[in-house]
Amino acid sequence: MGSINRGRGIRMRESRPFECPQCGFNYFKKNNYISKINKLLEKRSKVLRKHLKTVAHSIKSHVPSDAERDKYYFFLYNIKDVNDQTLYWGLDQYYKGKHYLHGKGYPYLKSIILSRDKNKEKISENEKKLLGSAPPIVNKGKDNEEEKNNKKKEK
């Protein structure tokens, strides 16, 4: 016969709140997602906040599974360390490609942004190899004329 567990199982301590490091979910605390979303959006520029809200509205309208506030909060939490330029690029790619019409929501957008952030140094190296570097800047002003005059005087 198997043993019977009579309430002596492993219990989590409720006195210590546990927050998931990946998504920020707290198991013991009621989550007020509106205030958390506002805190994460405060750190971004006005233009970027506007783009985030536009994309979020498109996702809520066209992807029913991602229409909840908690999904938006977890998306913002995951991209909180990404710089504004990379985030703007990712939002632009997602919105121009109209991926929300294909049912691709926050997880897809998050992967676009995080992969760009992770690979940006290697992408710039590869672009320099492919396209070459910018040509040197040549002064065609007074400095260049003075150098010519000095060369003539030396001869």
pLDDT tens readout for residues 58-110? 999 999 999 999 999 999 999 999 999 999 999 999 999 999 999 999 999 99
To the nearest whole percent, how much of the chain has pLDDT over 90? 54
* CA atoms within a 13 Å half-sphere pointing along the CA-CB vector of 65: 8
pTM of the entire structure? 0.67
Query: Do residues 55 and 94 touch, judged by C-beta distance below 8 A?
Result: yes
CB atoms < 10 A from the CB of 82, how many?
17
How high is the mean pLDDT of the chain? 83
Residue type, 75: F
User: Positive or negative, the Cα torsion across 69, 72, 77, 83?
Assistant: negative
Asked whether residue 17 carries a pLDDT value surpassing 80, the answer given is no
Asked whether residue 51 carries a pLDDT value surpassing 90, the answer given is yes
Asked whether residue 143 carries a pLDDT value surpassing 80, the answer given is no
> Residue 145's pLDDT band (boundaries 50, 70, 90)?
low
